[in-house]
Amino acid sequence: MPPPNDRRPGFSRKAQLGIFTGYVAAILGALAGVVLIVLAILDNGSFAFLRRGAAEAMAPVGAAGTVARTGSRSFFQRIGDYFDAADKNAALRREVQIARVQQIRMRALAAENRRLKTLLGVVDRASPPVATTRLVASTSASTRRFAVIGAGANQGVAVRMPVRTALGLVGRVLEVGPNTARVLLVTDGENVVPLRRARDGIAAFSEGLADGRLRLRLIDVGVNPLKRGDVFVTSGSGGIYQPGIPVAQVESLTPDGAIARILSDPAASEFVIVDRVFQELPDPAATPAPAGSAAP
Amino acid sequence: MAIVRKPRGLGGRQPLVKLRNPRKALDERLRSRINRAPSPLISRAIPWLSVLFLSLTPFAPIIASAPVMPPFAFMALLAWRMLRPGMLPVWAGAPLGAFDDLYSGQPFGSAILLWSAAMLVMDIVDVRLRWRGFLQDWALAAALIAGYLALAAILANLTGGATPLRALLPQFALSLVLHPLITRAIAGLDRLRLIPVSRVTR
């Protein structure tokens, strides 16, 4: 099939000019894109107002989508559950027995902890979550990992607040609109989270790899003590995340750390919890945390 | 020679209800077939609206923890451009890209630049290649999508993060496979676009 020849419109001056103007407009558009990108690189927060408005307008669509997502997921899961149900049943029974023993032990530890804390006079800073909401959108084609949650300034959400599910950390709030907020997911390459190994507190920090996994780097350089299956939780340093939120599980080792899988896949969770910032900086307004450097 | 006319002109089956008033039925059937043209509004708007709509894929009920979804809006733009050259103007990449940037998570301006560039490249290709075919279109789309994904990742890395380009391979593979399907869907929209609905009055 030959292409239609609509580029040579004969002798019509008007049509020729129209085509010429089209090219000029296209090239100007591309140049405008270059300028806008430079602006966006210089200041990550630029155009945030546009994105806020856009997200606000589309949030109801996303909320409806959430219901469909969790609905369809449970449907397929239910079918999958029929396979090897017996094995699963036995495994679960074993797990429950172990968990019961552990629960008793934990209760004893918690009681002891409470007693020791009252001895020390430490105030428990467990505060209620700011908001419980839904993930209404997530960037799906871009290598940057952002999500939009259905709560914003009206619900008390503020920039830097950590977002988590019952299973683990999801990310932190980056931009806030009236009823939506943009979340920088843990898996984004820009998000650096200070972590420690749950078992013994070996300190590390994570960087997103943008493919659903994290790169863990140990702070103490030396022999790599990590093993597959190690669970990392937030360490609380940096002051954004409360200590002890589960984040990732080691999948494979690298010379200076590990590659880890995140524990709370945002796709699997219908609701997310927005927490308060663990410890406010003395004066956050003076240095409005640029999205890049403020992570740890 | 006598021209034998069928009593009701159009032949074929007709609903009985309409036959009660044969003249009116005939009139309606004729009118529904002739003297109709596609609505200019619909036929102009559908290409734009379809690309804008596909820019909203981040709101789809899939929360992805990796970039696996193909760039549907960009692929739809390419499909429209290949199916109907000249339907979308050369400069269409800029406004459509601006809308896509609002939702895609890319630094604002990345799609404005890359989509405009893609439209210009398509124009150059149309001049160079004197022939079009399915496989050739597919190969061209593959090249454009690969370039788009790689450049978009590089631009995203400039604003933060260091995603290796090999993380894009699954996404590229999926886009490659889905391209004919998207072209097919766009062709369906093209038929919808040209349904004669409005009455020509003159």
Q: How much is the pLDDT for B1?
A: 45
Check residue A202 and give left, alpha or beta (phi > 0: left; psi -120 to 50: alpha).
beta
Model confidence band, residue A281 (pLDDT cutoffs 50, 70, 90): low
> Would the CB atoms of B157 and A143 count as touching at under 8 Å?
yes
Chain B hits for A147, Cβ within 8 Å: 63
User: Which residues in B lie closer than 8 A to residue A29 (C-beta atoms)?
Assistant: 91, 93-95, 97, 112, 116
- Does the distance separating the beta carbons of B114 and A27 come in below 8 Å? no
| pTM for the full predicted model | 0.76
Question: pLDDT grade, residue A265 (50/70/90)?
Answer: confident
Domain total of chain A? 2
Mean pLDDT taken over chain A: 80
pLDDT in tens, A138-196: 887 888 888 888 888 898 999 889 998 878 888 999 989 888 899 998 888 888 899 98
Q: What is the pLDDT of residue A106?
A: 87
Candidates B65, B100, B145: best to mutate against A (most CBs of A within 10 A) is B65
Residue A274, SS3? strand
One domain, residues A255 and A205: yes
Q: Which of A293, A164, A157, A286 is nearest to A238 (CA)?
A: A293
Residue A4 lies in a domain: no
Q: Is A96 found in the same domain as A235?
A: no
Top residue of B52, B53, B59 to mutate, by most chain A CBs within 10 Å, is B59
Contact at CB, B103 and A144, closer than 8 angstroms = no
- The answer to which of A237-241, A268-272, B4-8, B98-102 has the lowest mean pLDDT is B4-8
Chain B contacts in chain A segment 133-152 (CB below 8 A): 135-148
Name the least confident of A73-87, A122-136, B75-89. A73-87
Q: Could you write out the DSSP letters of every residue in A213-240?
A: EEEEEESS-SS----TT-EEEE--TTSS
How large is the C-alpha radius of gyration of chain B? 23
Strand (E) or helix (H) holding B5: none
Domain ranges of chain B: 71-197
Q: A241 with A99, same domain?
A: no
Instruction: With cut-offs at 50, 70 and 90, classify the pLDDT of residue B147.
Output: very high
Which of A6, A35, A29 shows the shortest CA–CA distance to B93?
A29
Asked if A144's CB is within 8 angstroms of B63's CB, the reply is: no
Per-chain mean pLDDT for chain B:
84
User: Same domain, yes or no, for A146 and A90?
Assistant: no
Give A228-264 pLDDT, tens digit per residue. Answer: 888 888 888 888 888 888 888 898 988 888 999 888 7
Our measurement of the distance from residue A293's CA atom to the centroid of its chain's CA atoms, rounded to an integer in Å, reads: 17
- Does A251 contact chain B (CB < 8 Å)? no
- Nearest by CB to residue A41, choosing from B65, B107, B127, is B107
A202 & A61 share domain:
yes
Q: Which chain A residues in 82-141 lie under 8 Å from chain B, judged by CB atoms?
A: 135-141
Per-residue pLDDT at B96 exceeds 90: yes
Higher pLDDT: A100 or A124? It is A100
Residue-wise pLDDT for B165-197, tens only, equals 888 898 999 999 999 999 999 999 999 988 887
| Residue B129 contacts A where some CB pair is shorter than 8 Å | yes
Average confidence (pLDDT) over B35-63: 86
Pick the more confident residue, A104 or A26.
Answer: A26
**The pLDDT value given to residue A255:** 83
CA nearest B80: which of B105, B56, B45?
Answer: B45
Judged by CB atoms closer than 8 Å, whether chains meet at A189 and B94 is answered as no
**A-B contacts (CB, under 8 Å):** 221
Chain A residues inside the 8 Å CB shell of B133: 1
Which tens digit of pLDDT belongs to each residue from B4-38? 445 554 555 555 555 567 777 777 777 666 777 88
Chain A CB contacts of B132 below 8 Å: 1-3
pLDDT at A289: 47
Same domain (yes/no): A118, A238: no
Torsion over CA of A8, A9, A11 and A16, rounded to 10 degrees?
Answer: -80
Shared domain for A134 and A204, answered yes or no, is yes
Answer yes or no: do A110 and A220 share one domain.
no
Which amino acid would we find at residue B109? G
Q: Taking CA A176 as the corner, what is the angle to CA A68 and CA A36, rounded to the nearest 5 degrees? A: 100
pLDDT at B75 over 90: yes
Q: Are residues A76 and A153 in the same domain?
A: yes
Q: What is the pLDDT of residue B19?
A: 57
Whether A79 and A219 share a structural domain = yes
Q: Are B57 and B73 in contact (CB under 8 A)?
A: yes
What CATH number did the domain enclosing A243 receive? 2.40.10.340
Q: Would the CB atoms of A143 and B60 count as touching at under 8 Å?
A: no
pLDDT score of A71: 58
Cross-chain residue pair B160–A135, CB shorter than 8 Å: no
- CA–CA min distance B168, chain A (Å): 8
User: B 19-78 residues with CB below 8 A of A?
Assistant: 56-72
User: Cβ separation of B168 and A143 shorter than 8 Å?
Assistant: yes
pLDDT category, A10, cuts 50, 70, 90? confident
A15 — contact with chain B (CB < 8 Å)? no
Show the domain range for A113.
Answer: 84-124
Residues above pLDDT 70, as percent of chain B? 85
- Judge whether residue B79 has pLDDT over 90: yes
Considering the domain boundaries, does residue A105 fall inside one? yes
Which H helix or E strand runs over A250? strand A246-254
Residue range A101-114: average pLDDT? Answer: 84
Q: Is the pLDDT of residue A293 over 60?
A: no
Give the DSSP H/E element, type plus range, for residue B103.
Answer: helix B93-104
pLDDT at residue A5 greater than cutoff 80 = no
- Both A150 and A236 in one domain: the answer is yes
Which residues neighbour A194 within 8 Å (Cβ) at sequence distance 6 or greater?
A203, A204, A205, A234, A235, A236, A237, A238, A241, A296
A226 and A114 share one domain: no
Residues 195-234 of A with CB under 8 A from B: 207-212
Which pair of tokens denotes residue B90?
């050369």
pLDDT at residue B61 tops 90: no
Judged by CB atoms closer than 8 Å, whether chains meet at B105 and A139 is answered as yes
Closest residue on chain B to A46 (Cα): B108
Out of B65, B91, B114, name the one closest to residue A187 (CB): B65
